[in-house]
């Protein structure tokens, strides 16, 4: 049989307070004064001075005999002080209490009977306005309508003179440390300080758990409700790890992830499937996370929820110390090892999260729904390293996009949904390029084209070859794919990198060297580390254009400048060994690249200068979408033979021809093409073909 409701408890408390007020009013000479509380008369001062030292305690306990079953006889006051001060959650806060919300909250927060009584007294005005004038009278101040420390303890038959009773208001005591009680008016002596219960706690005790605390919503905390679905991730090892965390007693776990969010997502999914809500905090700032931690723990205890925090910042000590609790399951996920100086109140279980076989096509197929897609799903999703929850959200986004466009689900929809889940934060050091070209746009000989196809295969199947087939060597080497594109300016190196990104369904990020290279010692390495670390965690293609600026040869140390330049190269050599992403380096001068870098490259692709036949193909590809005059084909053939231009220069010449035709209001003619070719020769400072050519000046 359940115990009294919160309203029943408040009704009993109100009777008790009324009894105290009536008892005091019988011998209070100012009880009938309409201005009572606005000033203190001499009679009131003398009466207050004549009270015993513990008048806020024993005397009130005697007054409270009119309050019914909740009253504390004065003779038993000393015994009940210690009974109330007992922190045991087994002591009910009300005679005959059952499993109501107040009793459940008392057990969850480790409250004793006195704590529960203080909490009930403090929240009374927030639920029943009848308490306001009563507390105003007891405070001798009509403007102070909340219970104070003295009132709360007096109604319990004790007072601030008892050390055990005072201790219940210490910041480290359960009420204040748990965020259940706020002691206001710090400039007043303790007995006169007002008590307030946060609105979220009041709502919970009244049965309202529909909304998160406003502070948590502002901090970006997400509430994951319990589900009846079986947890599904892209990895059996992740499933096993999540099941162990789910089955454990309240525990604080640190998951060191290779790919951010994958293991944390698996554990959160498993906890929800076990019927437990999860509060997930995504934070990039240790200070912000530490500030919201007390409210987060309070919400977890109120809901019986677990807490998942990711990614942990580098300076995570304050956040971890604030969150570590022996009675709440807390999962801390990040790519760095746990700090030795965190020193939390509870033991942290450090686990290495598996991540070798994430992104399985089978999970994608299950999340995309019934029916076999009309494209090779395994090949479309192979470049992405996503966890179960990320795949679930990406699949939902892909289906929604296809429905919005009114078309069948395609590989482009799936890849766009996956990109949304792995968008890197590189905008401060790199420029994003959304690939809009493919292999059909490249004009190259057979050998470099074959090598580019091999490069896409390495990026697509590296998890299978290096992970499942265990062809990766030791030494802490990563599973990244790094290639060098070498060739003269304009031969298609940057375009080739864009084609690789487009074939893989990834974004291309071009490193802005001006924001990376720094004149101060060590700053260049720090900027490069930020870039590499971000690319390690996300799915994109990184392009170092003109890479010899940072990957140049080491030289003999003849000055401090040489020494620091060599340190920069040594750092890059070590970082490439542990790199997990996809990177392309381009250079016009391969000889300037240090030989030690070439050993760490997966492929070196030479982009040759185009021959006349290839130049014709380049001209035709550039002008394919423009209106063409009848003489254009012959002019293109003549220009391809007479003007030795690389692909980039041909594109610029074609753009010039297009502008000339647009200004004239007609199609692109042979003269337009010849003018564009001459402009490119003049820009390069080269001599024009001899005067024997009909169109030469």
Q: Tell me the pairing of strands 278-281 and 195-196.
A: unpaired
Residues 6+ apart with CB under 8 A from 599: none
Give the burial class of 177: count Cβ atoms within 10 A of its Cβ; 0-12 exposed, 13-18 middle, 19 or more buried.
middle
pLDDT of 677 reads 94
Residue 434 lies in a domain: no
Is residue 281 in some structural domain? yes
Q: Answer yes or no: do 446 and 538 share one domain.
A: yes
pLDDT digits (tens, 9 = 90+) for 543-556: 998 888 788 766 55
Structure tokens at 589: 């001068």
Its pTM surpasses 0.85:
no
Report yes or no on 688 lying in a domain: no
With a CB cutoff of 8 Å and minimum separation 6, the contacts of 15 are 67, 68, 70
Residue 426 lies in a domain: no
pLDDT for the residue 405:
94
Q: Which domain holds residue 489?
A: 439-607
- Whether residue 536 is contained in a domain is answered as yes
Q: Considering Cα of 588, then 589, then 592, then 597, what sign does the dihedral take?
A: positive
Residues 194 and 320 in one domain: no
Using one digit for the tens of pLDDT, what is the confidence trace for 162-220?
999 999 999 999 999 999 999 999 999 999 999 999 999 999 999 999 889 888 988 88
Residue 384: the pLDDT is 87
Instruction: From 571, 591, 607, give the residue that closes a domain.
Output: 607
Same-domain status, 336 and 381 = no
pLDDT score recorded for residue 585: 92
Residue whose C-alpha is closest to residue 379's, from 489, 504, 263, 496:
504
End-to-end CA gap in the chain: 106
pLDDT of residue 70: 37
Same domain, 68 and 103: yes
Averaged over successive runs of 10 residues, the pLDDT of the chain (697 residues) comes to: 71 85 74 64 58 44 35 37 39 42 93 95 91 85 89 92 94 95 94 95 93 88 83 67 86 85 83 90 66 93 93 84 91 84 82 67 83 88 81 90 94 91 74 91 94 95 82 74 93 95 94 79 84 85 87 62 67 86 91 82 94 95 94 94 94 96 95 94 81 48
**Domain count along the chain:** 5
Whether residue 38 is contained in a domain is answered as yes
């Amino acid at each position: 049989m359940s115990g009294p409701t919160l309203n029943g408890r408040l009704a009993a408390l109100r009777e008790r307070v009324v009894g105290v007020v009536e008892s005091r009013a019988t011998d209070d000479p100012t009880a009938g004064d309409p201005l009572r509380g606005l000033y203190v008369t001499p009679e009131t001062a003398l009466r207050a001075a004549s009270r015993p030292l513990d008048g806020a305690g024993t005397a009130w306990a005697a007054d409270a005999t009119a309050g019914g079953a909740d009253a504390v006889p004065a003779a038993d006051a000393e015994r009940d002080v210690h009974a109330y001060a007992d922190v045991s959650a087994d002591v009910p806060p009300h005679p005959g209490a059952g499993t109501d919300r107040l009793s459940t909250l008392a057990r969850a927060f480790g409250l004793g009977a006195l704590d529960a009584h203080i909490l009930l007294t403090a929240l009374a005005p927030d639920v029943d306005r009848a308490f306001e004038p009563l507390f105003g009278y007891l405070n001798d101040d009509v403007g102070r309508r909340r219970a104070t420390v003295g009132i709360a303890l007096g109604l319990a038959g004790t007072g601030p003179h008892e050390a055990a009773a005072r201790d219940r208001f210490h910041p480290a005591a359960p009420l204040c440390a748990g965020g259940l009680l706020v002691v206001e008016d710090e400039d007043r002596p303790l007995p006169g300080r007002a008590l307030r219960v946060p609105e979220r706690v009041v709502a919970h005790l009244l049965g309202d758990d529909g909304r998160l605390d406003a502070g948590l919503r502002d901090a970006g905390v997400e509430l994951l409700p319990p589900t009846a679905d079986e947890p599904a991730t892209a990895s059996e090892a992740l499933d096993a790890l999540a099941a162990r965390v789910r089955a454990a007693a309240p525990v604080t776990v640190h998951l060191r992830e290779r790919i951010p969010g994958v293991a944390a997502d698996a554990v959160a999914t498993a906890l929800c499937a076990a019927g437990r809500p999860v509060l997930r905090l995504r934070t990039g700032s240790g200070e912000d996370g530490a500030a919201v931690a007390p409210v987060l723990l309070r919400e977890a205890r109120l809901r019986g929820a677990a807490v998942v925090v990711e990614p942990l910042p580098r300076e995570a000590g304050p956040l971890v110390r604030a969150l570590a609790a022996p009675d709440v399951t807390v999962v801390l996920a990040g790519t760095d090892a746990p700090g030795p100086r965190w020193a939390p109140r509870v033991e942290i279980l450090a686990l290495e999260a598996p991540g070798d076989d994430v992104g399985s096509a089978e999970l994608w197929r299950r999340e995309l729904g019934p029916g076999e897609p009309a494209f090779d799903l395994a090949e479309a999703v192979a470049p992405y390293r996503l966890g179960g929850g990320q795949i679930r959200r990406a699949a939902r986004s892909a289906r929604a996009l296809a429905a919005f466009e009114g078309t069948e689900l395609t590989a482009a929809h799936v890849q766009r949904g996956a990109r949304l889940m792995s968008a890197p934060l590189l905008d401060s050091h790199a420029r994003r390029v959304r690939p809009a070209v493919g292999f059909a746009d490249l004009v190259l000989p057979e050998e470099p084209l074959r090598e580019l196809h091999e490069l896409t295969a390495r990026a697509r199947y590296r998890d299978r070859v290096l992970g499942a087939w265990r062809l990766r060597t030791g030494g802490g080497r990563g599973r990244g794919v790094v290639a060098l594109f070498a060739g003269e300016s304009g031969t298609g190196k940057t375009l080739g990198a864009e084609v690789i990104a487009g074939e893989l369904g990834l974004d291309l990020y071009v490193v802005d060297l001006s924001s990376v290279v720094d004149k101060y010692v060590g700053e260049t390495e720090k900027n490069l580390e930020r870039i590499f670390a971000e690319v390690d965690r996300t799915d994109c293609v990184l392009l170092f254009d003109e890479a010899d600026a940072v990957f140049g040869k080491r030289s003999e140390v003849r000055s401090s400048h040489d020494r620091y330049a060599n340190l920069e190269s040594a750092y890059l050599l070590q970082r490439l060994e542990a790199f997990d992403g996809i990177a392309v380096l381009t250079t016009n001068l391969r000889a300037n690249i240090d030989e030690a870098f070439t050993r760490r490259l997966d492929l070196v692709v030479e982009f040759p200068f185009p021959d006349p036949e290839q130049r014709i193909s380049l001209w035709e590809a550039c002008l394919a979408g423009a209106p063409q005059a009848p003489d254009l084909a012959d002019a293109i053939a003549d220009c391809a033979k007479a003007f030795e231009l690389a692909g980039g220069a041909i594109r610029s010449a074609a753009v010039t021809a297009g502008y000339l035709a647009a200004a004239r209001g007609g199609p692109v003619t042979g003269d337009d093409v010849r003018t564009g070719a001459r402009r490119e020769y003049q820009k390069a400072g080269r001599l024009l073909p001899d005067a024997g050519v009909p169109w030469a000046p």
